[in-house]
């Protein structure tokens, strides 16, 4: 009998999948406060992925644990990541809407033996802070660079740049300026606003005074972008024919009902439109709308989260559920698949997602709803900000 038990235990151990485990994924994001809708979109993307692909990988069950950081707050993000690793025993960390929240956690990854899958934060440098970071969202270098040519092709020679004064804003400014001046245009003034700015009238006045023919701008998506586009309209800049170009954070679908005609005709560069026409996106939108409840609330953080889960499932598969962060990350380098946004891959050198960037224009559908209509595709874009970030 004893011999039999020993033999059985040995057989189980040698099979390498001795126990069916629960593998926990800790997701940090804004789930309350002014940016709660962005966090809700993380959850909708994750729920959609798990509804379509199940909650098991091999013998293991995947469980997602959420933690709330309402606004950019690196200290709170770090404390919650520590708690997730030590008390909850998560094998993966994911989410991270704001850059500072992602940056604060990268120093923990090696010792914790935990990969981080960034589902939104868009500053190029994040991936350089730890070899255990993989990103499935975008960078503002990726989304801003094509806009330089778009503005010049419209005959605009003088632009002003206005950005939130932190990582993704500074990257966006550098990307646009590099592109625009490289092609012969001039950025006449660069304005960096504190992240907490919510009165944009003085900025609109500075734009008018600058003599620029157009505006390039970036703010993190949420009440921030909504307020900026409203101020741009209310201060007469749109009516005066001074175009506003920026990444698609400005026209996220969940803000379009509130912006209405204020957003109509606005051109943005981005990796994802809910209106993207593909079979993969149809499947995603249906599942994610079901998950979020109110279909009008679906927005881009959901696709970063959905693809983030795809990557995490591949990592779990490659490690057989064992906790081996380096092996997990190695396994997804070079991975390519068809995302709801289009064809994507994880570029091995940066561990950041290579993808199409689309020029989109806000249009009005026959039923009166507004959407981001893709009008041009910049194919297969790596992160142009990687070199500067290193
Ligand atoms: C960021 O903090 O990196 C960030 C947040 C919201 C965005 C884009 C970038 O819409």
pLDDT at 6: 54
Q: 126 CB under 6 A from ligand 1?
A: no
Give the residues across from 80 on adjacent strands: none
Kindly tell me the number of DSSP H helices and DSSP E strands found in the chain. 14, 15
Question: How many CB atoms are closer than 10 A to CB 293?
Answer: 10
Task: Residue 82: name the closest of 112, 52, 55, 58 by CA.
Answer: 112
Token code pair at residue 46? 């994750």
Q: Are strands 56-57 and 60-68 parallel, antiparallel or unpaired?
A: antiparallel
Q: 96 CB under 6 A from ligand 1?
A: no
| Span 84-105, average pLDDT | 98
Q: 122 CB under 6 A from ligand 1?
A: yes
What is the distance in A from the centroid of ligand 1 to the CA of 120? Answer: 6
Can you say whether the dihedral through the CA atoms of 311, 383, 249, 362 is positive or negative? Answer: negative
pTM for this model (two decimals): 0.95
What is the distance in A from the centroid of ligand 1 to the CA of 224? Answer: 11
pLDDT band at 390 (very low <50, low <70, confident <90, very high): confident
User: Does residue 209 surpass a pLDDT of 80?
Assistant: yes
Q: 123 CB under 6 A from ligand 1?
A: yes
Q: 252 CB under 6 A from ligand 1?
A: no
Q: Tell me: the pLDDT tens digits for 222-240? A: 999 999 999 999 999 999 9
Return the ligand 1 atom nearest residue 100 CA.
Answer: 2
Return the ligand 1 atom nearest residue 249 CA.
Answer: 10
Q: 272 CB under 6 A from ligand 1?
A: no
Alpha-carbon distance 288 to 292, whole Å?
Answer: 6
- DSSP annotation string for 292-335: HSSGGG--THHHHHHHHHHHHHHHHHHHTT---HHHHHHHHTT-
Alpha-carbon distance 229 to 207, whole Å?
Answer: 13
Token code pair at residue 390? 């290193």
pLDDT band at 389 (very low <50, low <70, confident <90, very high): confident
Q: What is the mean pLDDT of the chain?
A: 95
Question: Which residue, judged by its Cα, is nearest atom 7 of ligand 1?
Answer: 220
Task: Residue 384: name the closest of 152, 118, 171 by CA.
Answer: 171
């Amino acid at each position: 009998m004893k011999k039999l038990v020993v033999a059985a235990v040995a057989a189980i151990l040698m099979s390498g999948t001795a126990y069916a485990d629960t593998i926990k994924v800790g997701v940090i994001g804004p789930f309350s406060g002014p940016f709660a809708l962005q966090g809700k979109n993380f959850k909708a993307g994750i729920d959609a992925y798990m509804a379509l692909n199940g909650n098991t990988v091999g013998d293991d069950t995947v469980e997602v644990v959420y933690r709330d950081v309402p606004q950019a707050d690196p200290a709170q993000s770090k404390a919650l990541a520590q708690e997730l690793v030590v008390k909850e025993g998560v094998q993966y960390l994911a989410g991270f809407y704001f850059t500072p929240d992602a940056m604060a956690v990268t120093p923990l990854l090696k010792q914790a033996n935990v990969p981080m899958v960034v589902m939104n934060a868009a500053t190029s440098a994040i991936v350089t802070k730890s070899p255990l970071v993989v990103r499935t969202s975008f960078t503002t270098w990726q989304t801003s660079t094509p806009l330089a040519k778009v503005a010049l092709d419209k005959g605009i020679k003088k632009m002003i740049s206005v950005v939130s004064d932190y990582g993704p804003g500074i990257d966006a400014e550098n990307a646009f300026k590099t592109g625009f001046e490289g092609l012969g245009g001039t950025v006449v003034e660069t304005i960096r606003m504190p992240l907490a700015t919510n009165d944009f009238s003085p900025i609109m006045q500075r734009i008018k005074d600058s003599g620029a023919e157009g505006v390039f701008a970036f703010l993190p998506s949420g009440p921030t972008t909504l307020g900026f586009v409203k101020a741009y309209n209310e201060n007469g800049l749109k009516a005066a024919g001074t175009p506003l170009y920026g990444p698609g954070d400005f026209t996220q679908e969940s803000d379009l009902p509130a912006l209405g005609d204020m957003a109509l005709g606005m051109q943005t560069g981005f990796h994802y439109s809910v209106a993207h026409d593909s079979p993969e996106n149809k499947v995603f939108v249906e599942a994610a709308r079901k998950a979020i409840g109110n279909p009008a609330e679906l927005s881009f953080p959901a696709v970063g989260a959905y693809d983030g889960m795809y990557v995490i499932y591949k990592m779990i598969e490659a490690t057989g559920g064992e906790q081996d962060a380096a092996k997990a990350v190695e396994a997804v380098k070079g991975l390519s698949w068809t995302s709801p946004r289009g064809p994507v891959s994880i570029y091995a050198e940066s561990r950041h997602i290579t993808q199409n960037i689309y020029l989109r224009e806000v249009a009005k559908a026959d039923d009166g709803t507004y959407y981001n209509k893709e009008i041009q595709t910049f194919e297969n874009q790596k992160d142009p900000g990687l070199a500067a970030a290193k």
